[in-house]
């Protein structure tokens, strides 16, 4: 199956990437984690020691920067920044704290969005982020908006960070997610909002398997009905 695109948006920790990765693998599509692209630029800023409150310094991150995504283990994304694999580094708590400031910069968004549109131009892509259905791929054949309660999202992110050896507390993660949600939802440009034609999926009380099952069922029903 290819030719069509699937846009998956929602707040941090709602389960977008798990769902997107699994759907891509079941439908033989390419998975693209757009958050990872903003994270890679943020990592570059950390290495360069920029001041994240200075827009010009953030804009300079887009110059002479090459971001590439390749398929990794289990269908995950490997993220290369200027040909260096930074897949692990972009999950660092320091990136979590600054990435919303990078992602709200208009010049950064313009650059990232056009790269994302090129990646999806031939179809066959499952892309997750915040503005995919509304802004990057408004013509995507399928759009989903995935949510979960703040408590549940913080719990999932906390377990994920612990698993990767990061030293943090549940309260800290909850605070970070809350701040990030606020910046992402209230920014002027392409804020986090569900596309009018997106299917809403609340994952608070669902397992990953149930979420993916629901979404794949929706996709297959529409394909069989010939509505795409
Ligand atoms: O999904 P994530 O936590 O990896 O996203 C990291 C940050 O990037 C988050 O603050 C939201 C932002 N982002 C965005 O503004 N637009 C996207 N398409 C994807 C992520």
Give the distance (Å) from ligand 1 centre to CA of residue 87.
15
Q: Tokens 């660092």 correspond to what residue?
A: 92
- CATH number of the structural domain spanning residue 209: 3.40.50.300
Number of neighbours of residue 202 by Cβ within 10 angstroms: 15
User: Which ligand 1 atom sits nearest the alpha carbon of residue 132?
Assistant: 18
pLDDT tens, per residue, the chain with 228 residues? 458 999 999 998 899 999 999 999 999 999 999 999 999 999 999 999 999 999 999 999 999 899 999 999 999 999 999 999 999 999 988 998 899 999 999 999 999 999 999 999 999 999 999 999 999 999 999 999 999 999 999 999 999 889 888 889 999 999 999 998 998 889 888 889 999 999 999 999 999 999 999 999 999 999 999 877
Give the distance (Å) from ligand 1 centre to CA of residue 64.
21
Crossing angle for the helix pair 93-103 and 106-119, to the nearest 10 degrees: 100
Count of structural domains, the chain: 1
Q: Is 11 in the pocket of ligand 1 (CB under 6 A)?
A: no
Structural domain of residue 78, as residue ranges?
Answer: 5-224
Q: Is 100 in the pocket of ligand 1 (CB under 6 A)?
A: yes
User: Comparing C-alpha atoms, which of 115, 113, 111 is closest to residue 138?
Assistant: 113
pTM for this entry: 0.93
Phi, psi of 200 (to 5 degrees): -85, 135
Within 8 A by CB and 6+ apart from 13, the residues are 148, 152, 153, 154, 156, 157, 177
């Amino acid at each position: 199956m290819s030719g069509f695109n699937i846009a998956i948006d929602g707040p941090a920790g709602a389960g977008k990437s798990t769902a997107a990765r699994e759907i891509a693998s079941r439908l033989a599509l390419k998975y693209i984690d757009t958050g990872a692209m903003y994270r890679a630029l943020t990592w570059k800023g950390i290495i360069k020691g920029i001041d994240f409150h200075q827009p010009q310094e953030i804009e300079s991150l887009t110059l002479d920067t090459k971001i590439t995504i390749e398929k990794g283990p289990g269908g995950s994304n490997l993220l290369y920044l200027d040909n260096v694999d930074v897949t692990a580094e972009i999950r660092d708590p320091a990136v979590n704290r600054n990435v919303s400031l990078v992602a709200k910069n208009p010049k950064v968004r313009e650059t990232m969005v056009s790269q994302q549109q090129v990646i999806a131009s031939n179809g066959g892509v499952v892309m997750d982020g915040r503005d995919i259905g509304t802004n990057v791929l408004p013509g995507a054949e399928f759009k989903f908006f995935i949510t979960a309660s703040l408590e549940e999202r913080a719990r999932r992110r906390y377990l994920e960070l612990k698993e990767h050896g990061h030293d943090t507390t549940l309260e800290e993660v909850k605070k970070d997610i809350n701040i990030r949600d606020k910046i992402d939802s209230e920014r002027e440009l392409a804020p986090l909002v569900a596309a009018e034609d997106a299917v809403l999926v609340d994952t608070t009380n669902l397992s990953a398997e149930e979420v993916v099952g629901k979404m794949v069922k929706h996709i297959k029903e529409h394909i069989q009905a010939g509505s795409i």
